[in-house]
Structure 1
Amino acid sequence: MFNFDRDRYKRIQGGAVACRDSINQAIEEITARGFTNLFLIGSGGAGILMSPAEYVLRTHSTLPVYREIAAEFVTMDHKHLNERSLVVLASLSGTTQETVEAAQYCKDRGAATISFTGKAGTPLARLTDYSIVNFAEDDTSCESFFIQFYLLAFRIMYNRGEFPDYDRLVAEWERLPEALLDVKERTEERAKAFAERYRNEDYHMMVGSGNTWGEAYYYAMCILEEMQWIKTRPVHASDFFHGALELIEKDMSLILLKGEDETRPLMDRVERFAKSYTDELTVFDTADYELAGISPAYRKYVSPIVAAALLERVSCHLEHVRNHPLTTRRYYRRVQY
């Protein structure tokens, strides 16, 4: 694969799976103390990547869960945050100002806190009661964060008697890094072709739903917009009928990110419509991949992780053919904001 280190990737994603024990210890201790609701807090991409964990909790658990943007959270006086809350905060660098401020805000109010970062000893890690660390960088952070947030969510539900299959699922996820490598290899030529075809495209619309919606939103905003400066509109499949479809023309680039959860029919509906009205339809479907070692019943959970793995290959080829490194910025962390 072009510009790709297999061993590095396996090490990072295997590290994410290996965070299971430290996550479990934190959850066991906080459960013994008792908590009545859960907050998932981050800024930008790190916050968006909590979306699948939020989705699985809302569809499998009765525990109240709130996913909030850090900057807004500290200004809104959330009435459900108290000393009986569990707050999970994420920042790859561990230095994101708004997230660090949110951690201090929650600490001051007596909530239990867990941080997820890519580096130890960062301001965010030092502020929280528990710190989960797995080294990752932008090209590997999506899968790493997805895996860790899922492990946290599944453990919480297991402790509540809401996910009895926890042990079996986690055992299968030991094979996930290898399965994700296969996804990347099978996507390589298609990713290269996509990058060549759309190297000069100045606008995309990207659609997702269910637990893959977060990845669609993340990829549109944090990769295509932030890292490639391409105007992109993320649209939830449920909302596609309400406005977005009126913008579809024959030369309109529409990217569908199809997962395998219960919302898949919503994506099928968008796809049926799009085939009749645009010649520039791209469908990335997680059902096209084998995922050796992952049971059919658990495939729906890994859809966003698979989507992140395959889209990284698209990103790699896009930056190459567009001569626009993914690290290039005009404003982000370059100027005062």
Structure 2
Amino acid sequence: MLKFDEALFLKLVEEEGLAFRGQIEAIVDGLAKRGYSNLFLIGAGGTIAMMYPYEYILKSSSSIEVHAEIAAEFMVMNHRRFSKDSVCIFTSVSGTTQETVAAAAYCKERGATTIALVAEPNTPLAEIVDHCITTGYEKHSFDTFFMLLYMVIFRFMHHNNEFPEYEQFTKEVALLPRAILDAVQAFDSQAEAFAIRHKDTGYHMMVGAGNLWGNTYSYAMCILEEMQWIHAKSIHAAEFFHGTLELVVEDTSVILLKGEDETRPLIERVERFAEKITKQLTVIDTKDFAMPGISETFRKHFAVSINWAVLSRISVYLEQERNHPLTLRRYYRQMEY
């Protein structure tokens, strides 16, 4: 596969990533024993998008109060549910994202407990927070972060007497890296075909819902717009029929992300409409991937990781076909703004 080292992926995500389980459980266990009022999942850009699946999981499966907040807005909004008893969770690959670092400092100054997942050690975010899981590598960091956040969130639920299946769940989390590898291998030719077909496409609609909404938002914004300079719009499937449908014509690229949670029928409704109108419909369905050893009960949660991993294969081939490096920027971190 283009730009994919399978052995390195398994070393970083399976071998080294899973080794953080004990550290995560010790942090969450201590907080649960001490007590807390709510969880704040805080980020900017791709990292707030990363939090949306876990907000959805908690809202749909738990009584734990949770708020996913955009870092810069959170600091100015005077959130009335935030207090010194809040637990605030952050992620950052670089550990230097300006808004995220500032929000972590804001939370800590007000007495809240701060936790971060960071790839790069000895960085501002890693040094500010109370508890930091530092993976030490940028490659495949999102795959690792997704996996570790499952452990964080479901451990909180376990302590809230809402998830007695935690031990079985973590056994299946351990199978996730291999499931991801199987999925990207199975999808790779489709990713290349998409990139060849759409190398000159100037606009994409991306539609998702439920625990895949974050991926939908992130891929349109962070990959297509930021990294490829392609016009894109992320549309929630529940809102698609309130405006956006009027822009779909015969050659409109519509990308549907189908997961396996309760919102799947919302995507299927959009699919039924889009297949009548456009000849450029792409459906990426996590049900197409086997996920060996993972139970039907947990598949809907792990769909987040599988979906992001296969989308990442499209990114690699778009980079190649469009001769546009994913690292190229006009403005982001290139100038003051």
The two structures have a TM-score, normalised by structure 1, of: 0.97
Residue 99 of structure 1 and its aligned partner are, at CA, apart by 1.1
Match of 1:177 in 2: 177
The two structures have a TM-score, normalised by structure 2, of: 0.97
- Equivalents in 2 of 1:282, 1:141: separation in Å? 27
Match of 1:291 in 2: 291
Match of 2:74 in 1: 73
Residue 52 of structure 1 and its aligned partner are, at CA, apart by 1.1
Q: Is the 8 A contact 1:12 1:135 kept in 2?
A: no
Which digits, 9 at most, give the CA deviation of each residue in 1:152-199, with x for residues without a partner? 110000011011111101101111111111101101111111000000
Match of 2:92 in 1: 91
- Equivalents in 2 of 1:94, 1:142: separation in Å? 13
Which digits, 9 at most, give the CA deviation of each residue in 1:67-124, with x for residues without a partner? 1111111111112111111111121111111111111111111111111111222111
- Equivalents in 2 of 1:16, 1:43: separation in Å? 23
Residue 143 of structure 1 and its aligned partner are, at CA, apart by 2.0
Unaligned runs of 5+ in 1: none
Q: Is the 8 A contact 1:119 1:133 kept in 2?
A: yes
Match of 2:126 in 1: 125
Q: Which amino acid aligns with 1:132?
A: I
Match of 1:276 in 2: 276
Of stretches 115-124 and 239-248 in structure 1, the one that deviates more from structure 2 is 115-124
Match of 2:112 in 1: 111
- Equivalents in 1 of 2:263, 2:328: separation in Å? 35
Residue 136 of structure 1 and its aligned partner are, at CA, apart by 4.3
Q: Is the 8 A contact 1:202 1:231 kept in 2?
A: yes
Match of 2:331 in 1: 331
In structure 2, the residue corresponding to 1:90 is in which secondary structure?
strand
Q: Is the 8 A contact 1:136 1:144 kept in 2?
A: no
Match of 1:213 in 2: 213
- Equivalents in 1 of 2:17, 2:66: separation in Å? 23
Are 1:264 and 2:247 counterparts?
no
Match of 2:24 in 1: 23
- Equivalents in 2 of 1:173, 1:63: separation in Å? 22
Are 1:317 and 2:313 counterparts?
no
Which digits, 9 at most, give the CA deviation of each residue in 1:184-215, with x for residues without a partner? 11011111110000000000000001001111
Paired residue total: 336
In structure 2, the residue corresponding to 1:4 is in which secondary structure?
coil
Q: Which amino acid aligns with 1:134?
A: T
Q: Which amino acid aligns with 1:318?
A: L
- Equivalents in 1 of 2:317, 2:137: separation in Å? 20
- Equivalents in 2 of 1:181, 1:136: separation in Å? 19
Q: Is the 8 A contact 1:53 1:146 kept in 2?
A: no
Residue 47 of structure 1 and its aligned partner are, at CA, apart by 1.5
In structure 1, the residue corresponding to 2:238 is in which secondary structure?
helix
Q: Is the 8 A contact 1:91 1:117 kept in 2?
A: yes
Q: Which amino acid aligns with 2:86?
A: S
- Equivalents in 1 of 2:18, 2:239: separation in Å? 34
- CA separation of 1:96/1:182 partners in 2, compared to 1, >3 Å: closer, same or farther? same
In structure 1, the residue corresponding to 2:156 is in which secondary structure?
helix
CA-based RMSD of the aligned residues comes to 1.1
Match of 1:250 in 2: 250
Match of 2:166 in 1: 166
- Equivalents in 2 of 1:258, 1:92: separation in Å? 27
Q: Is the 8 A contact 1:50 1:146 kept in 2?
A: no
